[in-house]
Chain A
């Protein structure tokens, strides 16, 4: 059974700081991994999708890496801004014919002005 863990559960940083969010998964036989952000009371917004054959993806100030063999992914946010404050979730797609998307519980990020 796939389990996804995100550390830390919460993180507070001053504006402008670079930061790293971590995601680990127990079954390395994944198809892809996605990072999402969720603002309070709202749905999820997809940030980056990394295929199992890829090592990283970049979008603007965001960079996500994937190390399948160690069961880890990181989301790097450069020059953080107050608008980056949200909950960040990673989700792993795995399971063969009985596939499903398994989410971590998220990291609550607060960027202080």
Chain B
């Protein structure tokens, strides 16, 4: 079966712009969670969506938002980009979600560079 697909894989933006990243989960998976990975902070949980509802979110400012569609595809948006938002953004899908204690399948990530 197809894996988790993230688009775009690479993108460059300038400060103040906004960006939208997409994640298509494995067919049948209803949970999509998002993570930010930087050399300094490591991997940090952003939020999780399950059946179009945000279940939980990490400690990120309101500039970071997301949504999930009826086909389980998810998007995350970062507005008013800052240099510190440069990172690898990863999404993961799972059948039952983080609280269901099941294996997470990660996408290859979207690498965002903010100039």
Least CB distance from A36 to B in Å reads: 8
Instruction: Report yes or no: A32 in contact with B109, Cβ–Cβ below 8 A.
Output: no
Interface size counted on chain B using CB atoms at 8 A: 24
Interface size counted on chain A using CB atoms at 8 A: 24
B interface, by DSSP: helix, strand, loop or mixed? strand
- Contact status of A105 and B56, CB under 8 A, knowing A44-B90, A99-B98: no
Instruction: Report yes or no: A93 in contact with B101, Cβ–Cβ below 8 A.
Output: yes
Report chain B residues within 8 Å CB of A104: 42
A interface, by DSSP: helix, strand, loop or mixed? strand
Looking at the complex, which one of B45, B92, B103, B108 makes contact with A100 (CB distance below 8 Å)?
Answer: B45
Least CB distance from A8 to B in Å reads: 15
Write the chain B residue with the least CB distance to A6. B42
Report chain B residues within 8 Å CB of A45: 106
Least CB distance from A78 to B in Å reads: 22
Report chain A residues within 8 Å CB of B6: 43
- Contact status of A31 and B90, CB under 8 A, knowing A99-B56, A101-B45, A103-B44: no
- Contact status of A43 and B109, CB under 8 A, knowing A99-B98, A100-B56: yes
- Asked if B107 is at the interface of the complex by the 8 Å CB criterion, the answer is yes
- Asked if A51 is at the interface of the complex by the 8 Å CB criterion, the answer is yes
Least CB distance from A71 to B in Å reads: 18
- Greatest chain A CB density within 10 A among B45, B90, B103 is at B45
Q: Which A residues are closer than 8 A to B by beta carbons? A: 31-32, 34, 36, 41-46, 49, 51, 89, 91, 93, 98-106
Q: Which B residues are closer than 8 A to A by beta carbons? A: 4, 6, 33, 35, 42-45, 56, 58, 90, 92, 98-99, 101-109, 111
Of the A-B pairs whose beta carbons lie under 8 Å apart in the complex, a sample of 16, sorted by A's number, is: A31-B99, A31-B101, A32-B101, A34-B103, A34-B104, A36-B106, A42-B108, A43-B4, A43-B90, A46-B104, A46-B106, A93-B101, A101-B35, A102-B45, A103-B45, A104-B42
